[in-house]
Structure formats: C-alpha cells, structure tokens
Amino acid sequence: MSRSKRIYVDVDDVVSRTTETYTRIVREEFGRTVPFENLTTFDLRASFQLTDNEFHYFFDLVHQHDLLLGFAPVDGAIDVLNAWSGQGHCIEIVTGRPTSARDVTLEWLDRHGVTYNEFIMVDKYNRPGNDPAVAVSKSDLAARTYDLAVEDSGEMALFLAEEMGVTTALKDRPWNRGCTDHDRLVRCMSWEDIKPLAT
Ligand SMILES: [Mg+2]
C-alpha cells in the first residue's frame, strides 16, 4: 500500500456546487441570465455585471445560512474524499469562505457525510471582516505541507504549486482557463481525473 498522503481540499466549486447555484440566484433576483461558461473571471461582480449595490445584496444573500446549507455537492467529490480517507490519506478541508460561514460549512460537510481530518479557514482573498482568530493567513498556510491539493482558484492553485511546491489538481472551471501553466499544476475535468493523483 502506498504511504498516506496529506491532501488539501478546497470547498467552493471543488466539493460544493457554489457558483452554479449563483447563476440561478442572479437570474431569480436580478432577471439576468449569465451562462456558466461566461464566468471567465473569479470576480463575481464583473462576471455577473452587478452594480455595487446589487453585489452587496447578492453577497449577503449567498452567505445566508439556509442558502449555503442547500448547495449540492459536486459530482464524485464526496465518494472520492471518503475513498481517500478509507485508504488512510489525511484530508484537510481548506476554505477561503468568510469566517462567519464557519459553522454552516461544518454543518454542510456533516450533512453530506464528508470524511476529513482537519478543517481550516484561510484568508485566501484578503477579505475585510474576516476574523483573524479563525482564519489563518496565506503565509501561515505556506508553513504547512501537503502532498496534493485540489483547488479551482487559479491564483491559489499557482500559490500552492509555486510557493509551496504542492502538486495541485486544478478543477477545470471557466474562470481558471487562463491560469498560467506550471509543472505541478494538473488540470482536471472531474473527480474521476483527480482521484488517481493520490495513489
Ligand atoms: Mg473554490
């Protein structure tokens, strides 16, 4: 049996179908239909062409407890995480969500039966209002070691690959297609492609 690996797993758009849900919310709330494939930037305000007011309303809305709890899981994600745990790998859930979303995120993971060893919040995007007692900084993250990471943010994936030397599965999403190539970045279309990276 191969040795146990320490694996970093992002939440939004890796395990949880977050942005796909946003397209429905933007349609319902603002009557604006933006196809998922058009979401070519990580900046939701720009992707959905929201005004400042619309964006603040949207941001508050999508961070409400019931809505966050209702996100569907990404196909295959939970099966693979549970299989990895069964193989003795150590799963760290590493989210950049606002620190206010901590409890509901733990509740979501529990509701969907996700097996993991650690849960950490990282201030990936310099969010104002994040509680520094709850979220660690990117430099604190860089002091940790991983054998594999799964991310959809091109910027975070490059940070993991370049700064931290971690083999990183970049879950293919329209907003990361312009991400710079790197030897340690592996673009993956699905969890079926990601699974063998831990064996
Ligand atoms: Mg993400």
1 C-alpha vs ligand 1 centroid, how far in Å? 31
Contacts of residue 145, Cβ cutoff 8 Å, sequence gap at least 6: 6, 164
Q: Where exactly does CATH 3.40.50.1000 map onto the chain?
A: 6-17+71-198
13 C-alpha vs ligand 1 centroid, how far in Å? 5
Assign residue 173 a region: left if phi > 0, alpha if psi is -120 to 50, beta otherwise?
beta
Neighbours of 33 (CB within 10 A): 10
Mean residue pLDDT of the chain comes to 94
62 C-alpha vs ligand 1 centroid, how far in Å? 15
pTM: 0.95
The answer to whether 39 touches 175, Cβ cutoff 8 Å, is: yes
Tell me what pLDDT residue 2 has. Answer: 61
52 C-alpha vs ligand 1 centroid, how far in Å? 22
144 C-alpha vs ligand 1 centroid, how far in Å? 19
Under DSSP, the state recorded for 190 is: S
Mean pLDDT of 175-185: 94
- CATH 3.40.50.1000 assigned to domain 6-17+71-198? The reply is yes
pLDDT digit string (tens) for 29-55? 999 999 999 999 988 899 999 999 999
pLDDT digit string (tens) for 73-104? 999 999 999 999 999 999 999 999 999 999 99
128 C-alpha vs ligand 1 centroid, how far in Å? 18
